[in-house]
Chains A and B, each alone.
Chain A
Amino acid sequence: MSDITAATTAEAAGDRLDKNWMIDKGLQALMFICGFSAIIFVLGIFIFVFKEGAEFVAHKMDFAEFFFSPKWRPTSLSNPTYGILALIAGTAAITALSMAICLPFSLGAAVFIGEFAKGKTREYLKILIELLAAIPSVVWGFIGLAIMNPFIIKTFDVPIGLNVLNSSLILALMAAPIVTSLAEDALKAVPDAYREAAEALGATRWQMIYKVIIPAAKNGLLSAALLGVGRAFGETMAVLMASGHSINMPTSMFDSVRALTATIAAELGETPVGSDHYQALFAIGIFLFIITFVINLAADLIVRGVRKG
C-alpha cells in the first residue's frame, strides 16, 4: 500500500514544476540576457562607429592619402588633407618603445612573483601591482606632464620633455600591471608536477624556469604580452598629455608625436557633427577598432592553443 503511494508521488514529482525548477529556469534566462547583452553592446558600438565613418570611407576618402600621407590638416580652409601616417607612426613608436620597456620588466616580475617570492612578499607584491592598475589614466598623464617632462629635459638636455620617450615610459608603467598579472597567471597554470620533475632531474632553479616552465606557459605569456600591446595601443588620455601632441614623423625618441587615439579625443568635440573632419575621425576610429580587434583575437586564439596543446 505505502509502496504504491510512494511510486505515484515520485512519478508526480517528475512532472511537477516546483520552486527549484522555476528558480533554475529563471536564473538561466537572466544569465542568458546578461551574456547576450555584452554581445549587443559591442555590436552596437561597432555599428555606430561604422555608420558615422562609412560615408567618408566609401566616398570621400583617398586610401593612398589616408594611409600614406603624413599631412593631417583637417581644419585647413582651402585644402583639407586627411593623412594619418604621422599618427600611425606616432602610435606605433610609442607602443613599440613602451612594450620594449614594459615586457622584460613585467615578465621578470611575473617570474619573481610566481617562482621565487614566497608567502607575505608574494601577497604584498601582487596587491601593489594590482594597485598600480587602478591608477586613473589622467593621473598618469599628469605624472608625465608635471614630473617626467622636466626630468627628461634636464637629464637628456632636450628642448621638450613631452615626447615618445615620456609617453612610452608612462604607458609601460600602465601596461605593466596587466601584463605582470596575466603572465603570472600563465606561470601559475603550469602544474607543480613539471617543477618537481625538472628538479628531480637535477635542474637548477633557472634551468627549470627557462627550459620547462616558460616553454610550458609560452602561449599564456604571449597572450599576456599581446594584451599589453592592446593596452598601450588603445590608451588615450595619458598619451595625449605626455606625447606632446604634435604631428610629426618621429625620428628619435625625443620627438613629440601625436597618437591616433589622442587625435580623436582632442578633436572630436570641436568638429561639426557630420562634417568631413568628423567623419574622418570616425574613420580613424574604425581603423583603431579593427587593429584592437585583431590583437584581441590573436591573444584569444593563442590562449585556445594552450588549452588544446
Chain B
Amino acid sequence: MVSQAARAGDSAKKGAANRKVKLSVRNLTIRYGDVVALNNANLDIYENEVMGVIGPANSGKTSFLNAINRMSDMRSNMTVEGEITFNGVNIRDWRNVYALRSRIGVVFPLPVGLPMTIYDNVTLSPRLRGITDKRVLDETVERCLTRAALWDEVKDRLNHLGSMLSGGQQQRLTIARALSQDPDLLMLDEFSIAVDPVTTMRIEDVLKELKSQMTIILVTNLVQQANRLADRTSFFLNGEHVETGETEALFEGRTQDQRTRDYIEGRFG
C-alpha cells in the first residue's frame, strides 16, 4: 500500500505535462515473413518510469522489445516498419547499433549465466568497450552485484562459473550484467518465469530502487506484477497495442477498452 501511495505521489509530482519522453513509438509494425507480430503500435515511454507491458502469449510483447534494441538486424525474416525514437533520435539513425545496444540493458525470460566466471560475466560489457583498469572493473562488479541483490551471496566466489549458479541467482547475475553498462533503459522480458517467488520479490524491490536512475520496460505475464511495479501499463493482444494507461486507473477498472478490463480481471488469457 505504501508503495502505491508513493507511486501516486511520484507521478503527481512529475505531472503529465513536463514528463520527458524517453522512448517514442510511432506506427510500429513488426512482421516475421508474412506473419504480423505487432500491428501499428503507438506509445510513449517517459523517463524514469516503469512501463508494464502485459498481454497473453503471442501478443507481440517480446517482438516489441527486440525492435527497440534492433535485435531485428540479426534476424533475416524479421522486418520492422515505423519509427522508434530513443533519447530523441530515431534508432535507425544510430549508425553504430552496438553503441545503441550498450545503452539498453536486457534481461531475458530464462536466466543466461554465460559460461565464464561471475566476475567476467559482470565485466563483459565494460571489457567489450575496452575498459581494462582492474580497479574500475572491481568497482563495477561490486556496484552492479549489490544493486542486483546478489553481492552478499557471491562476493566470496567471484571466480566461480556464472553458469553454475542457481536459476534465481543467475537471473540476478543477468540483471547485474545488464546494469554493468549503465543503461538508460532496462528491458525485462518476463524475468520471473524461472525464478522462485521470494527471489522475484527481491528483484522487484531492486527494480523499485533502479527506477530513479533509469527507465524500465517490464514485460510480464503476471498481471499483479505490473500492478505492483508499473507506473503505467500497456496491454497488448494478438499483435495489437490495445491501450496504455496509468496502472492504478487500469486496475481500478477505468479502462478505455473492455478487453483490457477483461484481461486484468482474469476473464480470459
Interface residues of A (CB under 8 A from B): 118, 193-194, 196-204, 207, 211-212, 215-216, 309
> Could you tell me if B69 and A207 are in contact, using CB atoms closer than 8 angstroms?
no
Q: A193-B110, A211-B124, A216-B114 are in contact. Are A201 and B76 (CB under 8 A)?
A: no
> Could you tell me if B128 and A202 are in contact, using CB atoms closer than 8 angstroms?
yes
Main secondary structure of the interface of A (DSSP, over half): helix
Q: A118-B76, A215-B115, A216-B115 are in contact. Are A201 and B101 (CB under 8 A)?
A: yes
> Within the complex, which residue of A193, A202, A203, A207 is in contact with B112, where a contact is CB–CB below 8 Å?
A193
Cα A118 to Cα B161 in complex, Å, equals 32
B116 at the interface (CB under 8 A from A): yes
> Could you tell me if B114 and A204 are in contact, using CB atoms closer than 8 angstroms?
no
Cβ < 8 Å to A, chain B residues 42-92: 69, 71, 74, 76
Q: A200-B69, A207-B128 are in contact. Are A194 and B112 (CB under 8 A)?
A: yes
Residues of B within 8 Å of A201, CB to CB, are 101-102, 124-125, 128, 177-178, 181
Residues of A within 8 Å of B127, CB to CB, are 211
What is the interface residue range for chain B against chain A? 20 to 34
B237 at the interface (CB under 8 A from A): no
B151 at the interface (CB under 8 A from A): no
Cα A207 to Cα B105 in complex, Å, equals 18
> Could you tell me if A202 and B115 are in contact, using CB atoms closer than 8 angstroms?
no
> Could you tell me if B98 and A202 are in contact, using CB atoms closer than 8 angstroms?
yes
B106 at the interface (CB under 8 A from A): yes
> Could you tell me if A202 and B181 are in contact, using CB atoms closer than 8 angstroms?
yes
Nearest-CB distance from B185 to chain A (Å)?
Answer: 12
Cα A290 to Cα B116 in complex, Å, equals 35
Selected A-B contacts with CB under 8 Å, 23 pairs: A118-B76, A193-B108, A194-B115, A196-B108, A197-B108, A198-B124, A200-B71, A200-B178, A201-B102, A201-B128, A201-B178, A202-B99, A202-B100, A202-B125, A203-B128, A204-B98, A211-B127, A211-B128, A212-B116, A215-B115, A216-B115, A309-B115, A309-B161
> Could you tell me if A199 and B112 are in contact, using CB atoms closer than 8 angstroms?
no
> Could you tell me if B124 and A199 are in contact, using CB atoms closer than 8 angstroms?
no
Q: Mark B244-256, 1 if CB is under 8 A from A, else 0.
A: 0000000000000
Nearest-CB distance from B164 to chain A (Å)?
Answer: 8
Residues of B within 8 Å of A215, CB to CB, are 115-116
When A and B form their complex, which 8 residue pairs have the shortest distance between CB atoms, in order from nearest?
A202-B102, A200-B106, A202-B101, A197-B112, A201-B125, A202-B98, A193-B112, A216-B115
Cα A207 to Cα B74 in complex, Å, equals 15
B174 at the interface (CB under 8 A from A): yes
**Given A197-B112, A200-B69, A203-B128, 11 other A-B residues pairs in contact with their CB atoms under 8 A:** A194-B114, A196-B71, A197-B108, A199-B71, A199-B101, A200-B108, A200-B178, A202-B98, A202-B125, A207-B128, A212-B114
